[in-house]
Structure 1
Amino acid sequence: MQNQTAKTLKGKAVAALEAGKLQQALKKAQLGVKKFPKDTDFHAISGFVLTEMKQYKKSIPHFIEASRMKPDDAQFVENLANALMQTGQIPKALEYTEQKLEQFPNNKELNRVLDEIHLKGSNWRMIVEHASRKLESEPDDVNLLSKRARAYSKIGFVDDHTRDVTRAYELDPENLKIAFQKAVTLHQSGDKDGSKGLLQSILEEEPQHRFALFQMSTIVSKKDAPEILDAVESAIAGSYEDHQELEFAKATLISKIDDLDAAMPQFARANKTQHDGNPYDTAAEENKLKQITGLFPVEAGLPVAESTDTPVPIFVLGQPRSGTTLMEMMLSAAPGIAGCGELTLGADLSHDIQTGDQKFDPASAEDFAQQFRNLMPPIPEGSTAFVDKMPHNYQRVGFLLSAFPNAKVINMLRDPRDVGLSKWIRRFPAGGMRYASNLAAIAHSANMYRRYMAHWEAVAGDRILTVPYEKLVADPKTYSQQVAAFCDIEWDETMMHPEKNTKQVRTASIDQVRNKISTKSIGGWQSVSEHLRPMLDGFDPALWPEYDLG
């Protein structure tokens, strides 16, 4: 009898919800919570109705209770993660979502929540503030130091990140999470041997540590790769779920032991694992292009801010893997030029303007510039220019050139087939790079880049220098001199030797830029072209006149 009553009440609550009668649905669901406190469905319905009513804070206790009663039900976990994010509890939302992705690694909704957190620099600043407040009374809390270090890293505060990681590791060197952070930081600083030694100690303690195995796969030599491959395959065999880190580690190791052609089927598997949980949205990207370029009509010209403060911004942009890191290392090797890595500020400050109805006028541009300078990481005293090498700033050139009338834009152009291959054989877990795990999406994104740049060239072409990657690596002196002249900086011979630059590198180019400039990667796509057909067929030849894509 009790079961029938509960079933009837649920039916009425769901019917009211489907009819859009939210107050009525909530009343019946909460009556069910009181009468049948062990029935998970009433908590779930209550939480969902409150979410529909945008009352996220009130929904949280219901989702907590539902997920406690049914910990293996992903839907309750998804709802709770989203509610935590929507109520601004970013540190808690991030920690909970990442923890639950261990249990549901390919869950699309959890990956969406994680993306939304990751794609906003303001969220990372909130985590910095949250951790800093707590560290005032608990200065030796290694978990807080670790959280703040990661957040600092996301917003480009490299020195602060390194300081927190170093301190956390000094306090608790046995903590595997912190030891892994330390290993990654060592690699970014160019100390591959130190990083490898620390990763080995982590794997001795936890042989199936998938992040350490992936990181090790990118560092080890061909000679040591078989041993790591055995460990990776053992970890895959012992896992109930497909983990992209392990799948990419296996592919990377096969390419070292055999060759790239032998590894391509495994790279396809790894990318599918990643893309299934985090797919590329073609329609959303097309809409973004329309929104942004619509704010800057060609015939109107750019709205320009008044201030021309220094240091002068140099924005290096292009497709990821097109040479943006190389160009930053060349520029920041010159005296007085500060390399800031990939700042999220262009995206952060333009997002609300892009998606809203407001116009971007000179006053908006002035405000944009002031906020940008206030939020960027500190740079050395006496710097005459700073470099922001966020590749995806190709979407935001209009905002950047309006805000900074003295800014320079360097567009790195590279054969999209080489760029596409380079993306395909590396792991890019960031939300803004979801296209990198699908061949057709790689081509669509590449075409979008050319469409953006065609618009910006029409709007402000004289303020943009396009540097062909292939010509730069073949003749670094001529092209580094051209870049220096364009940026109004004095050319220095050190610009031809970026491998000597000791700056931390936090991108997929981490190892390549530690080597001398080389042409060896040009045309690499040709040897594995049969594995890349959806990408090769997707490029629009009309958008790439510099390359024979016919």
Structure 2
Amino acid sequence: MELGRFEDAIASFDRVLALRPGDPVALNNQGNAFLALGREIEARKRFEAALEAVADDKLTGDAMSGAAQARSPDPRHVFALNNLGNILLAEGDIAGARTRFEAALAADPSYAEAWWNLSRLHGFAPDDPLLSQLEAQVAAEAHSEHDLMLLEFALAKAMHDVGGTERAFALWQSANARRKAELGYDIAQDRKLFAQLRERFAAPHPPIPETETDKAAPVPIFLLGLPRSGTTLIEQIVTQHSQVAPGDEIATLDREMSALDWCDPEALSREAGRVRSAYYETLTRLADGKPFVTDKMPLNFRWIGAIRALFPRASIVHVHRDPRATLWSIYRNFFSSTGNGYAHDLDDLVAYHGLYRDLMAHWAVQPGAIVDCDYEALTEAPEARSRALIDALGLRWEDACLRPQDNARAVATTSDTQVRKPIYKGSSQAWEKYAPYLEAAFAKLD
């Protein structure tokens, strides 16, 4: 699991379950592995089975005595409740997700991850009992640094809801500082990577011929840019088309590209067959028989040079919006993955935006079309811009693409609470409420 080898993890948990049928810890962990692969239906089955197993334990008294159960929440129970809540949220069942997060907190009021998850769904009011409970948890001394970070993210959102902008910003600062320290991030590591990519692709890499098997695989549609730039909305629009399956954020390519030595001029050619085979295998599983599959891993923008060489049939859509809106939205959200270390310091965010901007300019002058998608322009003229996007992808127009809020696909990213709404204007102005706290950092945007 820690190495990102989720298929191997699933197989290992299968062996555990063969030895210990119905073990709720193994079921819960296997569900996490399925969830990491975007296999929500299988993940949900494991989480539900874990909850049933815990309930059986309680009925038979296998786990602990009845009196002890009343005093001590079963951690297997709260973990599975929280994970099932995440699945329901991804599926658009906000009420069901809220019920599971509330149940997890009723069992264990100190469960930080459930507080963060619930805070995203709950509109806090000044006299809200949940607000005082959350305040008490932040003030408690027993939490780990990681849990305190999650609680501060949750309380920052609550303070935002009740109009306490000064305290909300202070909490976001503290939470982000804890996360940056936890990840051990230094912007120098990304400066080095981006310099290597610009040097490695100073000239376009020659296309690496596909095999006949490759050519039979679905065609990827890469939706990329910075996180919180609108890639999830664009995927909702595009995957309303009958020929396009949703892939969400596919980890396969990013994991393989991140592992390559970009100082080695032969690395991409040497590993091309293996990388492409693994990626097409993932696409084929996600395609459900459709000829196109989206991949909205935003930071794939780093790999555009390699994508052009490996996947000559692919479409690449660059989604962007006002950088102040993008960076502010990144800063006030917790990312469970470890690949967004730049997100937790305003100066790092501004510096990373500069790296991103310069690399996109580098890719733009190389042969191979990149479809430009302006988020603000889309919200101003949804039909015209959606039609232009579908046309640029070489697809025939379908009216369903104008109703992204009706898309029933699961969404397992930080945009999961927003994508069930019709296209709307105004979200890019949310940062203005915090302008006094942001102006020093944002003045460095150029």
Shorter-chain TM-score category? 0.7 to 0.9
1:537 corresponds to which of 430, 438, 443: 443
Q: Which structure carries more helix by proportion? A: 1
1:306 corresponds to which of 179, 196, 210: 210
Aligned 8 A contact 2:302 2:359 in 1? yes
Offset, 1:472:
1.0
Whether 1:153 and 2:153 are equivalent positions in the alignment is: no
Residues 265 and 361 of structure 1: is their aligned pair in 2 closer, same or farther, counting only changes over 3 Å? closer
Aligned 8 A contact 1:303 1:360 in 2? no
Please list the CA deviations of residues 145-187 of structure 1 after superposition, one character each: whole Å capped at 9, or x if unmatched: 1111112222322332223223223333561111111112111
Identical positions, percent:
24
1:473 corresponds to which of 369, 379, 399: 379
2:291 maps to what in 1? Answer: 384
Q: Where does 1:121-136 land on structure 2 (aligned, <5 Å)?
A: 121-122=4-5, 124-136=6-18
Residues 355 and 249 of structure 1: is their aligned pair in 2 closer, same or farther, counting only changes over 3 Å? same
- Report the TM-score when normalising by structure 2: 0.88
AA of the residue aligned to 2:119: S
1:220 maps to what in 2? Answer: 122
2:78 corresponds to which of 148, 153, 176: 176
Residues 218 and 487 of structure 1: is their aligned pair in 2 closer, same or farther, counting only changes over 3 Å? same
Aligned 8 A contact 1:342 1:389 in 2? yes
AA of the residue aligned to 2:128: P
Offset, 1:463:
2.5
2:71 maps to what in 1? Answer: none
- Report the TM-score when normalising by structure 1: 0.72
SS at match of 1:410: strand
1: CA distance between counterparts of 2:206 and 2:402? 34
SS at match of 1:394: helix
1:522 maps to what in 2? Answer: 428
AA of the residue aligned to 2:419: V
Offset, 1:380:
4.6
1: CA distance between counterparts of 2:185 and 2:47? 33
Residues 355 and 297 of structure 1: is their aligned pair in 2 closer, same or farther, counting only changes over 3 Å? closer
Residues 225 and 476 of structure 1: is their aligned pair in 2 closer, same or farther, counting only changes over 3 Å? farther
SS at match of 1:185: helix
Offset, 1:135:
2.5
**Count of paired positions:** 420
2: CA distance between counterparts of 1:223 and 1:334? 40
1:371 corresponds to which of 250, 255, 278: 278
Aligned 8 A contact 2:47 2:83 in 1? yes
2: CA distance between counterparts of 1:471 and 1:261? 32
SS at match of 1:314: strand
Whether 1:236 and 2:138 are equivalent positions in the alignment is: yes
Residues 456 and 143 of structure 1: is their aligned pair in 2 closer, same or farther, counting only changes over 3 Å? same
Q: Where does 1:249-398 land on structure 2 (aligned, <5 Å)?
A: 249-258=154-163, 260=165, 263-298=168-203, 300-307=204-211, 308-355=215-262, 357-360=264-267, 364-376=271-283, 378-398=285-305
Residues 534 and 133 of structure 1: is their aligned pair in 2 closer, same or farther, counting only changes over 3 Å? farther
Q: Where does 1:453-492 land on structure 2 (aligned, <5 Å)?
A: 453-460=360-367, 462-492=368-398
Aligned 8 A contact 1:304 1:402 in 2? yes
Higher relative contact order (CA 8 A, sep 6+): 2
2: CA distance between counterparts of 1:157 and 1:430? 17
2: CA distance between counterparts of 1:279 and 1:137? 38
2:332 corresponds to which of 410, 421, 425: 425
Aligned 8 A contact 2:200 2:265 in 1? no
Aligned 8 A contact 2:218 2:280 in 1? no
Aligned 8 A contact 2:260 2:268 in 1? no
Residues 225 and 196 of structure 1: is their aligned pair in 2 closer, same or farther, counting only changes over 3 Å? farther
Aligned 8 A contact 1:340 1:377 in 2? no
2: CA distance between counterparts of 1:427 and 1:405? 35
1: CA distance between counterparts of 2:410 and 2:39? 11
2: CA distance between counterparts of 1:260 and 1:496? 35
Over aligned residues, Cα RMSD in angstroms? 2.2
Q: Of the two, which has the highest radius of gyration?
A: 1
1: CA distance between counterparts of 2:216 and 2:388? 24
Query: Structure 2: which 5+ runs fail to align?
Result: 56-73
